Every structure is written in C-alpha cells, then in structure tokens.
Chain A
Amino acid sequence: MEHATGFILPNSGHNRDAEASKMGMWLFLFTELLLFGGLFIVYMVYRLMNHDAFLLSSFELNVVMGTVNTIVLLVSSMTIAMSITAIQKGNSILSIKLLATTLILSLVFMIIKYFEWSSKIHHGLFPGMEYYGNLPKGEALFFFLYFFMTGLHALHIIIGAVLIAVVIYRTKKGEVHSENYTLTENAGLYWHLVDLIWIYLFPLFYLIH
C-alpha cells in the first residue's frame, strides 16, 4: 500500500492516529453518559416525590415488548463486537455480514418501539393529548419521562444505524480493512453505549412494579 519513497511528510494527510481517534470517541461517550445521567437524576427525584403514581403507571408498559427489545439490543451488541473481530482478522465479508445483521436488529428494535409508542398514543398518553392532560400529576410525569427518555434513546438508535451503514459502505469500498478499522471500532463503541443506556432504561420504566 505504502509508496516506497522512504519519505513521508509528518503531516501530509496520510498519517492516522487510531489511539487518539478512539480516545476522542470515548470522551464523546462520556458527554453522552452525563446527558442521560442528568435525565436519570430527574427520573429519580420525580420518582421519590411520586412513588405510587410511578409504580401504577409502569403497569401500563408492556414487559414482553421491553424484554424482547432488550434481547434484540444485546444480540446486536454481540454481532457488532464480532464484526470488529472479523475485520481485525482480515475477513471483510464476514465483517459486513455481521454489521448488516446489527443494522437489521436496530430496525427490529425500532419497529417494536413503533408499536409500543402507537399503542400508548392510541390511549392518549402522549404529552399534550387530552387524556394525558387529565392524568394525575405523578402519572403525567412518568409518561413525560417515558416518552422523552425512550425517544432520546431511539434517536441514538437511528444515529447509530446511520453510522453502521456508513461503516458497511466504507468496508465495501475497501477503505476499512485489517490495517485500518478505527471506524468499525468507534461505531461499535457508540452502539454499545446505546445498549448500555437501554440496560438501565428497561428496569427503571418496565420493571419497577
């Protein structure tokens, strides 16, 4: 790949720093953690103030759908972790297949989320709807936080899916390979973060009764 000139300018645009790139990704993930962390603190405070209303409202959520989505995300986390192993071993085709599996699983997650949200909205539980407006304060807070936090999380799923699609495209073009797979690693880190946040969202909203 390298030209045999024996001389490359220090910053000619051909040098990469995989370590710095990864560190940058981690620093970004910390800001994401604190973004969701702040929301978890809001959740904790409102729950301390409206304990019974939160317990009551959580029965409205579908534990089966929540559990299936948890499993979907965990499996997708494994497939993207395996895609890094594949690209490190030089198996681009397997890496692409595993990334595509992750992409399909993210779609499955969003479809299940769509059905969950539609049934809640059908019952008038979305903030701003008439039924929501007549709910007791504690229950209204629960559903506001439910829609806001799972909505923000779903937005992260969409961003992650776009990122994975970019990785697939660039692996296909041969720009990502066994000597340069930082993009795959960083997409993986982002996807795992999305999984981590769901690991906490799931028990806090679906399993508190």
Chain B
Amino acid sequence: MENHKNHHNDDQHETHHIASYKEHFSTLAALLLLTFVTVVVSVFGANLATLSVATALLIATIKVIVVAYYFMHLKYEKKIYSWLILLVVVLFVAFTVITAIEYLNR
C-alpha cells in the first residue's frame, strides 16, 4: 500500500553490493580451519573437560558470526538487521542465564 509514497525504481539496484566469489571462498577456508581447531581441541584435549566445552562453544560462536557476517551478507546489509539479531540474541541469552541460575542453585 505504502509503496507509491516513497518508492524509487532505481533504489533496489543501487543499494546491493555484490560479494565476490573470492570473499566467499576465503570465508569457507576460515570456517574449515575453525572446524579443524574445534575437533582437535575436543579429541586431543579430552583431559581438560570443562575447558574444551567452553572452547568448543566459543569457536562455534565465532563460526556463527562469520557465517552471518559474510555468507548472510550482514556486512553489506542495513544496520537494522544487525540490531534485530542482537535483540534476539540478548533475549535468548537472558532466558539461558536465568534458567541456568535456577538449576545451579538447587
């Protein structure tokens, strides 16, 4: 409905930055390296049980950020998407922390 008010025909073409094949390939290389690290830490650092879980989750989080930033184009996207994702993440972390506190104090 509101389309005709502020719709400029050329807008859609101008705002899109095209990510290069090379950038996508480098992203994959980084992700594979992180996967390798997380498997090695888990298999060979088995005696450091708690440390390896924390490390695995940290590496997973880095991988997720890399996927979102490069593959999901957040790098070139409007800032509103990043803010919305941050909101969802904060919501989820809040639920997790509250639940964890509840169970750890039993």
Interface of A (DSSP majority class): helix
The distance in angstroms between the C-alpha atoms of A26 and B70, with both chains bound, is 16
Chain B contacts of A23 at CB under 8 A? 81
The distance in angstroms between the C-alpha atoms of A3 and B6, with both chains bound, is 22
In the bound complex, do residue A196 and residue B100 qualify as a contact, i.e. CB atoms below 8 Å apart? no
Interface size on B, residues (CB 8 A): 50
Chain B contacts of A40 at CB under 8 A? 96
Between B4, B12, B71, B81, the greatest number of chain A beta carbons within 10 A of the residue's beta carbon is seen for B71
Residues in chain B within 8 A of chain A (CB atoms): 1, 3-4, 7, 12-13, 16, 18-21, 24-25, 27-28, 31-32, 35, 38-39, 42-43, 46, 49, 52-53, 56-57, 59-60, 63-64, 67-68, 70-73, 81, 84-85, 88, 91-92, 95-96, 99-100, 103-104
Pairs A–B under 8 Å by Cβ, sample size 17: A15-B3, A19-B12, A26-B81, A30-B84, A44-B96, A44-B99, A45-B99, A45-B103, A48-B104, A77-B28, A77-B71, A82-B24, A84-B73, A88-B18, A192-B67, A203-B42, A207-B52
